[in-house]
Chains A and B, each alone.
Chain A
Amino acid sequence: MTQAPKARPSARTRSRAAADVFMKLLRDDHAGLSRVLREIDAQQSALTSTPETARAVLAEAVRYLLVFQHSIHHPREDLLFSRIRDREPALYRNIRPLVREHRIGQERAETLAWTLSRATPEQLRGKLGVQLSRQLQKYVEKTRAHMRREEAVFYTGSERVLRSSDWAALMAGPMPRDPAGDLHRLAARYPRLAARLAQSERMVTGPGERAPRPQDRPGLRQRAEHVAELCGEVLHETVELARRGIADLGAVRSPLGLARVSVEIGTRSCRHAAKLATLPFRR
C-alpha cells in the first residue's frame, strides 16, 4: 500500500512556529526576571538591618540582571524592535520609548552593582543603605512597569506585523536560555541568589526592619496591643450595655415599667463595672 506523501508545512505555518518559539523565549525571560525582582524587593528592605546577607544576595541578583537581562534579553528584544521598525513604523513609534528604557535600565543596574560592591556593611547600615534601598526599589518598580508596557505594546503586535523571513533572521543567532528558569543552572553562577530562591519560607520586612527572632522578648508594642485588646473588649461591652438600656427604656409604657427597667439597668451596670474592675486580674 502506498502512503500519501506528508504535506510539507506551509510558509505561514513555519513562520507561525518560529514566532511562537521566539516569543516564548522572551516570555520565559520575563518569567525569570519577575522571580528575581521579587527577591530584590524582599532583600532591599533588609539592606540596612542585615547588610551582610542582603548585600551578598543583591550583588548576585544585580549581576544576573547585567549578565542576562541587560546583555542577552534586551538585545534580543532590540533586534525584534528593529524588524518592527522596518515593517511598521507606526507601531515602532510606541516601541521607541522601550528601547530608551533598556538603555536607562542598564545604566541604573551598573550604578547599583558598583555601589553594592564598594559599600561597607557599616555604610549600608547608615544613610547609604537607605539611599541604595530606595534606588533598588525604584529599579524594581520601573522594570515591572517596563515589562507591563512591553506586554501591552509588542507581544501581540509583532506577530501581526513580522514575516517569516523576519522570524528566521531573529532565530538565526544563538539562543541562550535564562538561568533563572532553572535553580540548578542558576546555582552554578549565582549560588547565594539560588539558595535564597530555593527557601520554602522567607521573611519580608519593612525598610530597615529586622526580622523578629525567637529569643526576642515581648516589647512595648506587644504590651500596647494587649492593652488595646482589653480596651476594645471594654468598649464593645459598654456600647452593648448602653444599646440594651436605650432599647429597654424605649419599650417602657407605665411608671411601674420605668421603675423595673431602671432597676434592671442599674443592676446590669453594677455587674459590668465589677467585671471591668476585675478584668486585668482575670487576664
Chain B
Amino acid sequence: MTSWQTTTASLLARLTVKQQLQRDVSVERLREQIGAIERLFPGHPPGFMVAHDHPLPDCDAEWLREKGSSTDRVILHFPGGAYVVRLPNMERAMMARLCTAANARARLVFYRLAPEHPFPAGHEDSVGAYEQLLELGVNPERIVVSGISAGGGMALAVLLALRDRGLPLPAGAILMSPLTDLTDPNDGTRVANAVRDPVLSHKRGIEMRAMYAGDSPEMLVHPWVSPAFGDYAGLPPLFFQAGSTEILLDDSRRCVERARAAGVSAELEVWNEMPHGWQGLPFIPESQRAIEHCSDFVRQRCP
C-alpha cells in the first residue's frame, strides 16, 4: 500500500501547490509561494560540505560532498521547477541522500531561469557545466547526469547537445519525472491524469513554456527544448522514474521508446501512485526507496 506519508503529502500538494500552479499569478508571486516549501528543508544538509569552487560564468553552481568521503563518482545534477522556479534546499537535500547511497559527490548547476533568461541561456549554462567537469579532468566514465522534472528534460537536452558536438558522453543519466515535451500534447497522460496528478496542472503549461522557449512551433519541437523529439542514437544508458498518476508519465514513456528504437539502453520505473517529485520528499518512505534505486543505477554505470 502507498504509505500514509505519501497519501498526506499528495493531499497537501493537491490543496496547495497544484492550486497555486494553475492560478493566474505573476512569476514573482509563484516563486514566493512555491518557495515557502523551502522552509521544510535545511539550507545545508547535515554531514555534508557545500563548496562553491570552480564558479561558472553565468550561473551558480556548487559541489556537494559528504564529510570524510573520498570518491571519484560525480553526479551532475540539474534542478527542476518548470524552468521558472527553483527549490535549491530541496534539491540539495535530495542529492545529499543520493550521494550517500551511491558513494558519490554531486555538482548542482543552478542554470539561469526564464522568463528573465529564456532558452538557450539555461541550456548553455548546463552544457558549460559538463564541459567544465571535463576541463577539470573528471573522467566522463565516472559522471552520471541527473535531473528532476524540468531538470530531467534539461539533462536529456544536454546529452543530445554533447553528442551533437562530439564531446565524450557521461556514463549514464537519471531522469526523475522529466518534462521532455514542451508542445504540451493534448492526449495521453497529460489528459488522462489531469485530475489524478496531485501536484502538476495542465492549465498553465502553455504560459510556462512560452516563458522558456517562446511560441514558435519550430522552436518547441527542437530536441534541445523538447528532448522527446530527439534522435537518441549514441546516448549512454538512461534510467527514468515517474509516478503512475503523473501528467508527465508519457513524456518518459516516449523517450524510452525512442531511445530503445535507436539502440540505447533505457528503462522506466513507474512508481504506483507517487506524486511528481516524490524523490525529493525525505519524509516519505518511497522517496528513500526510489533514491536507492537511483544509487543502484549509479553503481551499475560507474562501478
**Interface residues of A, Cβ cutoff 8 Å to B:** 24, 27-28, 30-32, 34-35, 37-38, 41-42, 141, 144, 147-148, 151-152, 156, 199-209, 211-212, 222, 225-226, 228-229, 231-233, 235-236
Residues of chain B lying within 8 A (CB to CB) of residue A206: 1-3, 272-273, 286
- Besides A232-B16, A232-B18, 10 other A-B contacts (C-beta < 8 A): A24-B303, A31-B303, A35-B300, A37-B296, A38-B293, A38-B297, A151-B103, A202-B267, A206-B273, A207-B1
Given contacts A31-B303, A38-B293, contact A231 B270 (CB under 8 A): no
Contact A31 B300 (CB under 8 A): yes
Taking the closest CB of chain B, its distance from the CB of A187, in whole angstroms, is: 15
Q: List 17 A-B contacts (CB under 8 A).
A: A30-B303, A31-B300, A31-B301, A34-B303, A38-B296, A144-B296, A148-B103, A151-B71, A152-B70, A200-B257, A201-B256, A203-B272, A212-B272, A226-B195, A229-B195, A231-B15, A232-B16
Asked if A225 contacts B267 (CB within 8 A), the reply is no
The answer to whether A41 touches B292 (Cβ under 8 A) is: yes
Known pairs A28-B303, A207-B1, A209-B272; A200 contacts B256 (CB<8 A): yes
Report whether B2 and A233 are in contact in the complex, using a CB–CB cutoff of 8 Å: no
> A225–B14 contact, CB under 8 A?
yes
Q: Which of A37, A200, A233 contacts B267 (CB 8 A)?
A: A200
Min distance, Cβ B212 to any Cβ of chain A, angstroms: 25
Which B residues, 247 to 288, have Cβ-Cβ distances below 8 Å to chain A? 253, 256-257, 260, 266-273, 286
Asked if B223 CB lies within 8 Å of chain A CBs, one says no
Q: Which residue of B lies closest to A38 (CB)?
A: B296
B11, A233: Cβ atoms under 8 Å? no
B299–A34 contact, CB under 8 A? yes
Residues in chain B near residue A236, CB distance under 8 A:
19-20, 23
Q: Which residues of A contact B253 (CB under 8 A)?
A: 201
Chain B residues with a Cβ under 8 A of chain A: 1-3, 11, 14-16, 18-20, 23, 69-71, 101, 103, 195-196, 198, 244, 253, 256-257, 260, 266-273, 286, 289, 292-293, 295-297, 299-301, 303
Q: Smallest CB–CB gap between B146 and chain A, Å? A: 16
CB-CB under 8 A for A228 and B267, given A38-B293, A144-B101: no
How far in angstroms is the closest Cβ of chain A from B188?
A: 14
CA distance A115 to B23 in the complex (A): 55
Q: Which A residues touch B267, using CB under 8 A?
A: 199-202
Tell me the complex Cα distance, A229–B295, Å: 35
Q: Decide: A203 near B292, CB < 8 A? Known: A31-B303, A229-B195, A235-B15.
A: no
Determine whether the beta carbon of B293 is less than 8 Å from that of A41. Answer: yes
A41 close to B289 (CB less than 8 A): yes
Q: Complex formed: what's the CA distance from A131 to B298 in Å?
A: 29
CB atoms of A201 and B14 under 8 A apart: no
Q: Whole-angstrom distance between the alpha carbons of A38 and B2 in the complex?
A: 19
User: Which residues does chain A contribute within 8 Å of B296, judged by CB atoms?
Assistant: 34-35, 37-38, 144
In the complex, what residues of B have CB within 8 A of residue A141's CB?
292
B295 touches A144 (CB 8 A): yes
B36 to chain A, nearest CB (A): 14
**Chain B contacts for A231, CB-based, 8 A:** 15
- A59 CA / B242 CA spacing, docked (Å): 27
B196→A222 contact, CB < 8 A: yes
- The 3 A-B residue pairs with the shortest CB-CB distance, nearest first, are A27-B303, A31-B303, A34-B299
Report how far A27 CA is from B300 CA in the complex, Å. 9
Whole-angstrom distance from the CB of A254 to the nearest CB of chain B? 30
